[in-house]
Structure 1
């Protein structure tokens, strides 16, 4: 369930503030291309309506901010200027009502004569709410004048058309962001092992290739470890594959919790795991892996005590991804031959 972001707006004629849903953190940012289009809309609107100020205002949790302002003579509003909510802005009432507001002459209206825009001599106002497709308020589109004005129906129709343009852009931004999020999730699924959630064989090998290049380019150390659960075949035979799967997933969780954020972990195949230690010397990686071995020895994967063996190898200048994996695998083989539950370096 998505948590909505809310703001309290002061609505003209109402004693208590009105809570409204506003742009949440999940919403996409407005890019330069869209902003350029909106700026053109405001410039045209100010010219057609013959007013000094045409604005797109953005409502935030505690303030109303000038998101864009027409590039017209006599416009007192600058981008990013803001006023706290609750001060009685015209735009607060637009959002609180969720519909058009026209104020022909604020000075002649007791409800509006003290609103902050009057201090800028903006005594007439026409504004409409701007909303995301989800119903959350982005803000308003409005025009203001220092003279008493009753706007024509044509002006209002033009403003509604521009409102629709902006809201269509918001809708498209939302859909594009949703598609990108879905694509990212699909990319992530393609990189992950379904059982453990770790990187799969293909992904960890690609990471290794990239990290070797980085290590060579920046003259940094790189160490890898090949880790294997001791006697895993016997666990499967004695307790069944379902229990074996739980042992693997529990061990993956142990690695995620005990290794560093910079360490890259992948399931290489079966009960073998490959760990890439970036910018790490072999002696430091040895200490990290040996601590993991001791933690595994104390753990109870699926209620079963386990031990692990590991082989580690460091990169030299001409080492390929396949070669460093082969070295770590060879060291792992020696650990198994020497009695298991140990770490051997290449």
Structure 2
């Protein structure tokens, strides 16, 4: 067989482009093998193979013609070949690819512009599989891309031959024009392929194969336009312990859990039920009906889901418990627009997640009121800095030995003309969800360090400030540089700043947390683990992070007067901190007994209303700094 064009050399950049294509195809199609095959006189060769570890084919592997290869059939017939299970197909039950375990196949022919065969582009799997329309469309897209490349190579070869007959000047100009055309064609082909792939990725989740959330809104609008249904429910379904699974068993296991949950949910879907994915932990279900008593039917549906997911699932021989929660909103009772209903079902879900696992809640007017209040608070918080509504208060740290104030915890306060004094527990959570916590965090750092610099110059005293840090702030790539720059600006040594972190701040992204805390430690900045003793991983954090101090959670201090168990726990924690050479702060000291007990056991610092309440900067200076100077004089 004479294959003149197949002697043309394929440039490296084109091979790299093809490699990217087969890697993407394998990933989207979730198959071990995605190949571009090249035809020779008596055999076919693996030209490009995806980089999967379980791909049995490697570039350069060859197969003899005449033995019933999948690709040989595609080349001879010049049409697509779709084999779902070769083991059950008499035509393919003896083909050589079964030696590699490949029992399903889909391939398309690749040809030069003159019709001469180049080879095939194909995918193959070790399990029976019918390839979806989206995957077939993706292969067709890349087939056109490869054949466009072949056309360019063919044109280039013809130009080279023609240039041999032309003068050097004309040949050079022709080469430059051809080069520009080549770049343009590759750009067009790459853009088309990227657009097709992007369209698939925008519409479907790679892990579960489910449509993404934005697809539901279009479908919902079509349903409401037809006016065929008396009621439509929008359900947010969440895997509430997926983060725990990921932290304990790793990302791969959590992804498999998510995939299994998706498969189980699909079994509950009917003709009038639609399922999509919202995020890593949350799915959205839309159910339509013309029948009455719809709320009762949805309650029954949710109960069945709760019961089903109350059973353990198995992932790689592991028996795992999945905890779930559901929030439900109804059209038209709770709203007429999809995004409004989605927001309300999500609000109902958030109420459910604070209660028992595997439960559900319907949206109600109380949630509506809370939602409106939250929206109002978030809106007012956005302008709080500009309106000068935020301020800092300082609560003293008192040394248990010298009885002197050695530092203070910085606490942010918000007073709004409409809302009055807003609790930090309310607006900090809102700031974290809305992203405003970064801006608020910079305000606290800048204002507190400026105040500390003023006090140091005025009173000639060195004491430290402790500032709380949110998990969101740790992900800010500018955080460390910002802190260091502020310390340099106000000429404050690093050890006079302490960053307080809760266990919650560390579990979100351990790699990021380790990097940030290590850099802060290198600059001499103190680190404190807050609410120590309440988290299940507190001890491990002391081993893996460079903490200088720990704070015993106030819940242990509160019960010292009445609970022998609390006294034993506090004694143990203080002894451990002393052995690890960590400073220990007893938080929430409210009376003399509590103060005396923790001091006797070896605590270094008192903090609590008994020693001093949080006050603004002027009152703090008046009560603790000026008084301290006077007593020293």
Give the TM-score of the pair, scaled to structure 1: 0.48
Structure ID, larger Rg: 2
Q: Identify the structure with the greater helix proportion.
A: 2
User: What TM-score, normalized by structure 2, do the two folds share?
Assistant: 0.26
Q: Which has the higher contact order (CA 8 A, sep 6+)?
A: 1
